């Protein structure tokens, strides 16, 4: 791969290429945008270009790309480039005092200090530059950001740091102001649909996942992968909507227990497909996907009451959406959606999964017209 192969982020890519051609490359970037829209892929290809020994530059049209064949490009490809580093919270167990430490929720200062701040002063060995990609920069806590700030204030001339961030508001103004911000927008639903269809996914599944993903092609592809396993998400969502549309208070524990089993099966299938994501993150991704499905159904029901002509995410279960819309007013649906977002925050905070699903479902059952 190279920069020209980055999917649907032409604006960000051409901005980087112009900067490269002009030879004025900032020492620190924030790539800001939702999860799964190509921030990491772009950062990786940008790093490959910055490190390349023989970059392909066309000044007239201001495009630039890595050569793909030099020693540096091959080292990035082989994941063994001495001047290229990806910093992520899972590195905690390789810090001095990190033995037996579990993956933390935030990006701890020990990781930033030992893998970035302490190492940035040694000169590059293979290329002319050193590149650091910091994943999930929204999880940098204040101590980590303050530690990083020292480098951002006076970066060595050869260094380029790229912070990947889904929430700019989580970064301190002092961090933000020292970085060039490059924005990454959601990918078009149509493009995601095309990509999913190319993998052999059925039309209904491809439409559903592309709408549900809200522009996160990475997430849509991960869901699509599950369809090849026993933990197919599409069948699960069909059953989930059947249960949720007429959920009774007394059925909540059973439905929640079933959802918990399904979530575990999804996490298990995912962990067999990807080995560089921590178990905790995979568990969270599975629970969040299920909550996301409920949110989409509630949104559909709300739109049915207010703007019926809009195309639903759950276009294939209109009857269930009508049942939900019949049970709750738009105001109630809005409150339930906001309750679901609160549950997403619980998941981020590491609240027990059983509790998460019970709360999710009680939220959907509780204000059903109860006879007094």
- From the list 193, 187, 152, 194, the residue with the least C-alpha distance to 172 is 152
70 forms part of the interface with Zn ion (CB under 5 A): yes
What is each CA distance from 330 to 245, 302, 327, in whole angstroms?
15, 5, 10
**Are 149 and 161 within 8 A, CB to CB?**
no
Interface with Zn ion: number of residues (CB under 5 A) = 5
| Least CB distance to Zn ion at residue 29 (A) | 20
73 forms part of the interface with Zn ion (CB under 5 A): yes
| Least CB distance to Zn ion at residue 37 (A) | 26
Q: Which is nearer to Zn ion, 71 or 331 (CB)?
A: 71
Select from 26-34, 49-57, 248-256, 333-341 the region that touches Zn ion (CB under 5 A).
Answer: 49-57
Q: Distance between CA 302 and CA 300 in Å, rounded? A: 5
126: left (phi over 0), alpha (psi -120 to 50) or beta: alpha
52 forms part of the interface with Zn ion (CB under 5 A): yes
Select from 6-14, 62-70, 330-338, 345-353 the region that touches Zn ion (CB under 5 A).
Answer: 62-70
- Residue 204 has a CB neighbour count (10 Å cut-off) of 12
DSSP 8-state class, residue 328: S
Q: Which is nearer to Zn ion, 52 or 302 (CB)?
A: 52
Select from 48-56, 91-99, 133-141, 225-233 the region that touches Zn ion (CB under 5 A).
Answer: 48-56
47 forms part of the interface with Zn ion (CB under 5 A): no
Using CB under 5 A, which residues numbered 243 to 272 contact Zn ion? none
28 forms part of the interface with Zn ion (CB under 5 A): no
What is each CA distance from 15 to 25, 64, 181, 266, 323, in whole angstroms?
11, 11, 11, 38, 48
Select from 38-46, 61-69, 102-110, 246-254 the region that touches Zn ion (CB under 5 A).
Answer: 61-69
67 forms part of the interface with Zn ion (CB under 5 A): yes
217 forms part of the interface with Zn ion (CB under 5 A): no
Q: Distance between CA 15 and CA 260 in Å, rounded? A: 44
Which strand (E) or helix (H) includes residue 162? strand 159-165
Q: Which is nearer to Zn ion, 47 or 340 (CB)?
A: 47
Q: Which is nearer to Zn ion, 130 or 303 (CB)?
A: 130
285 forms part of the interface with Zn ion (CB under 5 A): no
| Least CB distance to Zn ion at residue 274 (A) | 27
Q: Distance between CA 216 and CA 137 in Å, rounded? A: 18
Q: Distance between CA 340 and CA 292 in Å, rounded? A: 8
3 forms part of the interface with Zn ion (CB under 5 A): no
Q: Distance between CA 128 and CA 354 in Å, rounded? A: 51
Q: Which is nearer to Zn ion, 65 or 353 (CB)?
A: 65
Query: What x/- string results for residues 302 through 341 when contact with Zn ion is judged by CB under 5 A?
Result: ----------------------------------------
75 forms part of the interface with Zn ion (CB under 5 A): no
Beta bridge partner(s), residue 183 = 32
| Least CB distance to Zn ion at residue 68 (A) | 6
12-37 burial: b if 16+ Cβ within 10 Å, else e? bbeebbebbbeeeeebbbbbbbbebb
| Least CB distance to Zn ion at residue 59 (A) | 18
Binding site for Zn ion (CB under 5 A): 52, 66-67, 70, 73
């Amino acid at each position: 791969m190279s920069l020209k192969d980055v999917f649907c982020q032409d604006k960000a890519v051409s901005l980087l290429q112009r900067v490269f051609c002009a030879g004025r490359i900032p020492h620190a970037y924030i790539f800001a945008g939702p999860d799964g829209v190509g921030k990491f892929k772009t950062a990786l290809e940008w790093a490959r270009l910055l490190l390349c020994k023989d970059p392909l530059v066309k000044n007239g049209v201001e495009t630039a790309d890595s050569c793909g064949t030099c020693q540096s490009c091959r080292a990035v490809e082989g994941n063994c480039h001495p001047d290229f580093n990806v910093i992520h919270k899972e590195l905690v167990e390789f810090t001095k005092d990190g033995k037996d430490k579990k993956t933390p929720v935030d990006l701890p200062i020990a990781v930033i200090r030992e893998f970035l701040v302490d190492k940035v002063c040694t000169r590059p060995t293979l290329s002319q530059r050193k590149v650091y990609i910091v994943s999930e920069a929204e999880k940098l806590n204040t101590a980590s950001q303050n530690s990083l700030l020292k480098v951002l204030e006076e970066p060595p001339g050869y260094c380029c740091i790229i912070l990947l961030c889904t929430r700019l508001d989580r970064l301190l103004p002092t961090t933000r102001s020292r970085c060039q911000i490059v924005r990454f927008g959601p990918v078009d639903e149509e493009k995601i649909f095309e990509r999913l269809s190319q993998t052999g996914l059925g039309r209904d599944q491809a439409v559903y996942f592309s709408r549900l993903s809200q522009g996160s092609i990475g997430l849509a592809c991960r869901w699509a992968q599950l369809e090849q396993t026993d933990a197919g998400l599409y069948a699960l969502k069909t059953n989930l909507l059947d249960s949720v549309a007429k959920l009774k208070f007394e059925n909540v524990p059973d439905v929640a227990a079933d959802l918990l089993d399904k979530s575990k099966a999804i996490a298990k299938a995912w962990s067999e497909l990807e080995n560089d994501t921590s178990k905790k993150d995979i568990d969270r991704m599975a629970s969040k996907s299920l909550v996301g499905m409920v949110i989409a159904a509630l949104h559909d029901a709300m739109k049915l009451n207010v703007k019926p002509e809009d195309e639903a995410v759950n276009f294939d279960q209109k009857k269930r959406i009508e049942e939900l819309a019949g049970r709750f007013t738009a105001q109630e649906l809005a409150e339930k959606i906001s309750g679901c977002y609160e549950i997403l925050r619980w998941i981020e905070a590491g609240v027990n999964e059983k509790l998460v699903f019970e709360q999710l479902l009680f939220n959907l059952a509780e204000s059903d017209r109860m006879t007094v």
